[in-house]
């Protein structure tokens, strides 16, 4: 991956980890990560195939 893609991936990971720590893994949805990052659901799934 390029540098920008690495940054985007890290941004998604940081948002997901924050949501997991606040809500727990099972209660965190992809929509929570979408809201936290401001990215589209499709973009999230481009970087990660599933939760």
Tally of domains within the chain? 1
pLDDT of residue 46: 97
pLDDT of residue 51: 82
The CATH number of whichever domain residue 30 belongs to comes to 1.10.10.60
* Unique residue bearing structure tokens 């990971």: 13
Count other C-beta atoms under 10 Å from residue 34's C-beta: 17
Which residue segment(s) compose the domain that 26 sits in?
A: 3-47
pTM value is: 0.88
- 3-state SS, the chain, equals CCHHHHHHHHHHHHHHHHHHHHHCCCCCCHHHHHHHHCCCHHHHHHHCCCC
**For 3-48, what is each residue's pLDDT tens digit?**
999 999 999 999 999 999 999 999 999 999 999 999 999 999 999 9
Interacting residues of 30 by C-beta distance below 8 A, sequence separation 6+ = 41, 44, 45, 51
């Amino acid at each position: 991956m390029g540098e920008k893609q690495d940054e985007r991936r890290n941004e998604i990971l940081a948002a997901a980890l924050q949501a997991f720590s606040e809500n727990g893994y099972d209660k965190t949805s992809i929509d929570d990560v979408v809201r936290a990052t401001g990215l589209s659901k499709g973009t999230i799934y481009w970087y990660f195939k599933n939760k």
